[in-house]
Amino acid sequence: MVKKNHQSTSNQSLFEFKLQNEVLFLTQFLTLPHVERFIQDVLKIARKYEGKTLTLNLDDLESIDSAGVTSLYFLKEKLAGMDIRIQITGGSESIREKLEIFEFRNSETDKKPERIPFFALIGDSIYNFFYDYIVNFLILAANVTYWSITDVFRKKTHRKGEFFNQAVHIGVNAVYIVGTMSFIIGLVLALQSAAQLRNFGANIFIVDLTVIAMMREMGPLITAILVAGRSGSSIAAEVATMKVTSELDALKTMALNPIRFVIIPKMYGSFVTMPFLTIPMMIMLTENVARSDDRCGASITRWTATM
């Protein structure tokens, strides 16, 4: 039998343990002042211990603190590496509650991830792509279409002045960049067309080529690209900021649809201002060509007659 005494000057001044056969009896108070010495003594005993199981009996233990509980679980894990299995038995109800509260639990990060089969990975990737992108996009498009149509007839639900704010933000503020880029694109197109058509003696068709291309295709297309790049990125940044700051969650908490009150006014602003942006866009695109050829008036007249 091995018996150890630990003493200190505190009220909980005594801690003892004794080893009988394969049972280690703990008595009195297992608290912070005794923990370090207790661990050292038990490890010394374990090095000479020949059994495979060691039972810690807490029936005579009057009190234990968090440091004492931690020492018990530390010894349990430490002796497991020495092929000695620790069992903790007995103890009052309060001691058992403390043991349960401070019990060591294996972290999920320590577990090795299970190997997923190759075809399962492919199937999971296809499902996530289909659901996260296609299905969610269709749901978003359906919501935008539905609220865009129904809110036209529900004027009382609109925020006063929101449509004009979005029209100014999306359309009016984009006039400068759209006009500048249109002028530059028209100038470059006219110069490049003249350089190539001159080789075939077809300079008289520069105006026809440029005006028809601008009016029919490139004018609306370039306007849409510029608005998507300028106003679209601004809208995306605004909505993302509202998501990060939980403003969209606040709308949902108040039973307000974020698509209806955030996206739909922007859609209305885009629908109304896009035609008004396209018209000056086409004018700026064809202005350089119109000034570069004396036959501009006759060419435009001849083109409009064929429409």
Mean pLDDT in order along the chain per 10 residues (307 residues): 48 67 82 84 83 84 84 85 84 84 62 77 89 88 88 77 86 84 77 76 73 76 85 88 90 87 88 84 64 47 45
Nearest CA-CA partner of 239 in 220, 225, 259:
259
Same domain assignment for residues 103 and 149:
no
Pair (277, 226) in one structural domain: yes
pLDDT value, residue 12: 47
Q: 15 and 58, same structural domain?
A: yes
- The confidence score (pLDDT) of residue 294 equals 45
Please check whether residues 216 and 281 belong to one and the same domain. yes
Q: In this structure, are residues 18 and 3 in contact, taking their beta carbons and an 8 Å threshold?
A: yes
Residue 244: predicted pLDDT: 92
List 28's β-bridge partners, or say none.
Answer: 15, 61
Beta bridge partners of 61: 28
- Domain housing 193: 158-306
Indicate whether 171 and 41 sit together in one domain. Answer: no
pLDDT of residue 111: 59
| pLDDT given for residue 289 in this prediction | 57
Place of tokens 């999971």: 124
User: Do 297 and 167 fall within a single domain?
Assistant: yes
Q: Cβ distance 6 to 39 under 8 Å? A: no
Q: Do 145 and 167 share a domain, yes or no?
A: no
Are residue 162 and residue 151 in the same domain, yes or no?
no
Token pair for 244: 């990060």
Whether residue 117 sits in one domain with residue 69 = no
- The model carries a pTM of 0.51
CA 243 vs CA 246, 252, 253, 258, 266: distances in Å:
5, 12, 13, 10, 17
Total domains in the chain come to: 3
* pLDDT at res. 16: 76
